[in-house]
Amino acid sequence: MFKKIKELLDAGTISQAAADALDSEVSIALKEKNDEAASWRVKYQDLNKNFEAISKTKDDLESKLSGFDEAIKKAKEDGKGELVKELETQRASTQEIQANLEAIQNENRNLKIQTALGSALSKYDVIDSDLVSNFIRGNVELNGDSLIYKNGDSSMSIEDGLKSFFDEKQHLLKAQGNSGSGAGGNGNSGGDNQDFIP
């Protein structure tokens, strides 16, 4: 049983049935969050493997292109026009493959950012995670295997960045508290509308 629920039960604030129901509900929600985080980690690891494989292939192609340049230069010096044409065709084909790999690499990088951002956001109870992710995406960049949150001239870890972001924009988080308690997500219980009488 969760510590806070046990404290409420021991204090006699809630019944055993209520404690069991709360404990079950919190356990299910926690398991869902843990499963979601694990899913994001697996996706991120797969993307890392793909990214590394693409990078190696791209490096191999760059080396091959350099070899084509040398072979073309030598064929030109030797006056072998047909060989020059053939090598230039192969070089153009290799360059096209390299350009395609670069596009795939950029797409993979964007997927890594989205996956890492999704994982970081999964720790928050966001109203609309797609909206928030798209909004924050402009302030996030990949630095090696880590996400960096940029806010103006300052940079911080994605965890610190999201904490700062949600401290300022609490309206993007679902309201917390028991239903019917009147507690809003930012602790405001309707103080701005005190003059309203139904």
Q: What's the token pair of residue 26?
A: 């919190």
Residues 78, 131: one domain? no
pLDDT for the residue numbered 113: 83
Supply the range of the domain harboring residue 93. 1-122
Distances (CA, A) of 20 to 27, 170, 178: 10, 30, 16
Query: Over the stretch 63-97, which tens digit does the pLDDT of each residue have?
Result: 888 888 888 888 888 888 888 888 888 888 888 88
pTM assigned to the model: 0.50
Query: Over the stretch 25-57, which tens digit does the pLDDT of each residue have?
Result: 878 877 777 777 777 777 777 777 777 777 788
* Residue 193 counted as domain residue: no
The domain tally of the chain equals 2
Task: Give the end of a domain, one of 104, 122, 140.
Answer: 122
Residues 40, 96: one domain? yes
pLDDT for the residue numbered 80: 85
* Rounded distance between C-alpha atoms, residue 146 and residue 108, angstroms: 15
Residues 25, 107: one domain? yes
Q: Please report which confidence band the pLDDT of residue 177 belongs to, taking 50, 70 and 90 as the band edges.
A: low
Residues 170, 111: one domain? no
